[in-house]
Structure 1
Amino acid sequence: MLARPPSAVAAIIDEQHHRSIALVRRVTATDAAALEQIVMLSHALGEQLQTSVLVRAGLRLSTELADRTPVHPYRDWITACRTLVDRAADDGDLHAGLDLDAVARFVIGAFTGIQQLSGLLTDRPDLPRRIDEMWGLLLPTLIADPDRRETVRGARWAPPIPVT
């Protein structure tokens, strides 16, 4: 049986995951097309990684735990991505015949690798550019209408400004 991470470590990972899933809820509540929401989420998560010590710590701990890494955050991310991929397919935004499970797993895996590499090489100031490069490579494979590629690639989420 695998040893569980210490409770303080698990609490940091859980809080990071809670913040990420809250971000998913906020972005998916927008009127943007599903494929645009996936791109928006990747950039919003990248911003969280650049600005939040807790988010960086949670991701760092989850990758450093090796065989004790909690898998539920990754499963939740893949599930959230798959939900959006399904919506994008229903909207006609994706090429027909794609393996939607594979798309969701690949997007999450690609983002995970991009953010980790950016963190290792530059401490993440280049992360927005790396995420944009990722989408530049992925969108031609995914998106059915070539005329929508740049619109989708340029999608960004701006949190609502609180009324005071």
Structure 2
Amino acid sequence: MIVRAAAEVFEESGYHAASVAKISAKAGVTQGALYFHFKTKQAIAQEVMHAQSSFVQIPDEGRGLQRLLDVNFYLARELQRNVLFRAGVRLAVEQGEIGIQDASAYQGWADQFHEILVEAREEGELLADVDEREFAQVLVGAYSGTQLYSKVATGSVDLIERIASLWRYLLPGIATAEALARLSVRPNWAEPRG
């Protein structure tokens, strides 16, 4: 309850303008109760940052590279419409301003992407020289940069298209010709182009 309320306040106001009073009011608890669970506003922000993956339900459909693409598009759509997830991502990006240095949120996504890339290897979809763990980390960095650029440029309106562009350039460097022929670099909910 407190973490969700804090996420909403951090997304609405940013870290510096978010006060413990605003967070406790949003959560419907006293400031004393909030301080019982979290000693500082920074601790609350860290918890929101760490909880970002719990604010989304990653689809468990498909395997291999198509699943990785679909998960990336799903996350992009969630960033556009899910305030709680967006708050966690925002705090991870702005953590220097908060006074922390914690890569665990990024590492969590890299670990999830790594698992899917291992599936892609098992399916024979990856080129021989692709290191699944290294590419998972590259993907988190590229995705994060693309997401941030979209947020600054258009308020994330064009995030889906930017993620599609990212993948059009990344896939030839990691996927076999056979896999490339069957992969769709479009969100599964998108309308076909005319």
Q: Which category describes the TM-score, using the shorter chain as reference length?
A: 0.7 to 0.9
Which structure 2 residue ranges, 5 or more long, are not aligned?
Answer: 1-39
| Structure 1 segment 118-133 matched on structure 2, within 5 A | 118-133=150-165
- Count of residues paired in the alignment: 149
Structure 2 residue aligned with 1:112: 144
2:55 paired with 1:19: yes
Structure 2 distance, partners of 1:120, 1:98, is 32
| 1:134 correspondence with 2:166 | yes
Distance (Å, rounded) in 2 between the aligned partners of 1:149 and 1:126:
26
How much identity, in percent, do the aligned residues show?
A: 25
Report the aligned-residue RMSD: 2.2
TM superposition shift of 1:55: 1.8
Question: 2 CA distance for matches of 1:120 and 1:76?
Answer: 24
Q: Which has the higher contact order (CA 8 A, sep 6+)?
A: 1
Shift of 1:102: 1.6
TM-score under structure 2 normalisation? 0.69
Unmatched 5+ stretches in structure 1 = 159-164
CA distance in 2, matches of 1:68, 1:35: 34
Q: TM-score, normalised by structure 1?
A: 0.80
Q: CA deviation at 1:147?
A: 6.2
Q: Which residue number in structure 2 is paired with residue 9 of structure 1?
A: 45
Q: Determine which structure has more spread, i.e. the larger CA radius of gyration.
A: 2
- After the TM superposition, which segments of 4 or more aligned residues of structure 1 sit over 3 Å from their partners? 146-150
Query: 1:17: how far off?
Result: 2.6
> Is residue 127–residue 175 contact of structure 2 (8 Å, CA) maintained in 1?
yes
Q: What is the rounded CA distance, in whole Å, between the counterparts of 2:43 and 2:163 in structure 1?
A: 32
